[in-house]
Amino acid sequence: MSKQEVILCQSLESDLALAIKQCPHDKLFILTDRHTYEHCWPRLSGLSYLKEAIGICIEAEDSHKTLDALSTIWMALSTQGATRHSLLINLGGGMVTDMGGFAAATFKRGISYINIPTTLLAMVDASVGGKTGINFNGLKNEIGAFAPAKSVLIDTTFLHSLDQDNLLSGYAEMLKHGLISTPEHWAELLKVDLYQTDYTVLQKLVGQSVQIKEEIVDIDPFEHGIRKALNLGHTVGHAFESLALSHKAPILHGHAVAWGLVCELYLSNRQAGFPQDKMRQTIRFIKLNYGVFGFECKQYETLYALMQHDKKNCSDTINFTLLKEIGEICIDQTATKEMIFEMLDFYRECMGV
């Protein structure tokens, strides 16, 4: 997979001008959702080099990461004369960068695209690494392709209009990056007051976080090995997400990951010797900032079945990424059903469910 250029912008205006120049094109398209059209597009709309850009705006939220919305994008490209040499700019959160990336990957067998992520989650995770796609048949990211953006331009000033819940959601992935990288980065992340955001500090941490993801993706772009480190917290997190959804009370992905981290750090402690003090410190931070996701003993079987059905598991065994220490990653780990139930007991006890 070719490498994408990730830029932590000093000046979005000039960095974008350069990124566009590096992608010779006939027509320029810019994809937003309703919210990023309102909150983020005004920042760019006055730029002379975007005067001719053709806008495509879709409905917001993951529930619209669908074949219908994808078809709307393809249709807009097709009817407005896009060619193999056209360029698409995705301005939005992970929903826009995932679906816009996939639209670009498939239109005329692939056109170039640039990501400008506008949520914290998209900055440190979704917009980087080349995974694109849509939800299909009730399944998340069921259809997709590996197709890296030409450039990813990160400007944290877009976060000023982002709501607190989405900020927290993205921060959970940063916390995950902290756990799989170095004790120093992890410790810095735990010091942040997420309710009084210091954007200068956040900008620096975002830069480090995205670099951690990039380094892992560079080594293993197609997730045969070390890229699985990025799944830390996700086996349980996805089960929580699905359980919440089945009760028609959806939770944000990052929140599910944060609560999943609580469980998987316990498993790391029990099975790989992850230090208890670091586990406790991380859990305290999560409880303080994310509150608690509640469930009862009688839902353990359902959660277990959901973990089994997570797409990352090829057989009946449940796969986890665990940690021996911060930055010491053990991929392809399994746990018995008994141990998983013990982990859920631990979660409920320490979170006070």
Ligand X SMILES: NC(=O)c1ccc[n+]([C@@H]2O[C@H](COP(=O)([O-])OP(=O)(O)OC[C@H]3O[C@@H](n4cnc5c(N)ncnc54)[C@H](O)[C@@H]3O)[C@@H](O)[C@H]2O)c1
Work out whether 62 is an interface residue with ligand X (CB under 6 A): yes
8, 57, 60, 303: residue in contact with ligand X (rule CB under 6 A): 60
The C-alpha atoms of residue 314 and residue 299 are separated, in whole angstroms, by 23
Contact pattern for ligand X over residues 128 through 147, marking x by CB under 6 A? -x-x--------xx------
The C-alpha atoms of residue 128 and residue 298 are separated, in whole angstroms, by 39
Beta bridge partners of 5: 151
351's tokens = 């979170």
98, 155, 241, 264: residue in contact with ligand X (rule CB under 6 A): 98
26, 61, 301, 345: residue in contact with ligand X (rule CB under 6 A): 61
Phi, psi of 286 (to 5 degrees): -65, -45
131 part of the active site? yes
109 part of the active site? yes
Q: Which of 13, 223, 325, 342 is labelled catalytic?
A: 223
- Integer distance in angstroms from the first to the last C-alpha of the chain? 44
25 part of the active site? no
Paired sense of beta strands 87-92 and 112-117, if any: parallel
95, 104, 147, 265: residue in contact with ligand X (rule CB under 6 A): 95
Scanning residues 19 to 38, which ones bind ligand X (CB under 6 A)? 33, 35-36
- Backbone angle region of 223, left / alpha / beta, with phi > 0 → left and psi within -120 to 50 → alpha: left
65 part of the active site? no
Instruction: Tell me the closest approach of the beta carbon of residue 271 to ligand X, in angstroms.
Output: 26
Pick the piece of the chain touching ligand X (CB under 6 A) from 73-81, 117-125, 220-228, 306-314: 117-125
Scanning residues 211 to 250, which ones bind ligand X (CB under 6 A)? none
Nearer to ligand X, 188 or 223 (CB): 223
Instruction: Tell me the closest approach of the beta carbon of residue 161 to ligand X, in angstroms.
Output: 4
213 part of the active site? yes
280 part of the active site? no
8, 76, 121, 286: residue in contact with ligand X (rule CB under 6 A): 121
Contact pattern for ligand X over residues 265 through 294, marking x by CB under 6 A? ------------------------------
Work out whether 106 is an interface residue with ligand X (CB under 6 A): no
The number of residues that bind ligand X (CB under 6 A) is 31
29, 57, 92, 321: residue in contact with ligand X (rule CB under 6 A): 92
27, 39, 108, 270: residue in contact with ligand X (rule CB under 6 A): 39
Work out whether 94 is an interface residue with ligand X (CB under 6 A): yes
Residue type, 29: F
Phi, psi of 331 (to 5 degrees): -90, 170
Q: Report the sign of the C-alpha dihedral through residues 169, 175, 180, 181, in that order.
A: positive
Nearer to ligand X, 9 or 162 (CB): 162
Instruction: Tell me the closest approach of the beta carbon of residue 96 to ligand X, in angstroms.
Output: 6
Nearer to ligand X, 58 or 340 (CB): 58
Residues within the interface to ligand X (CB under 6 A): 33, 35-36, 39-40, 60-62, 65, 92-96, 98, 118-119, 121-122, 125-126, 129, 131, 140-141, 158, 161-162, 166, 169, 253
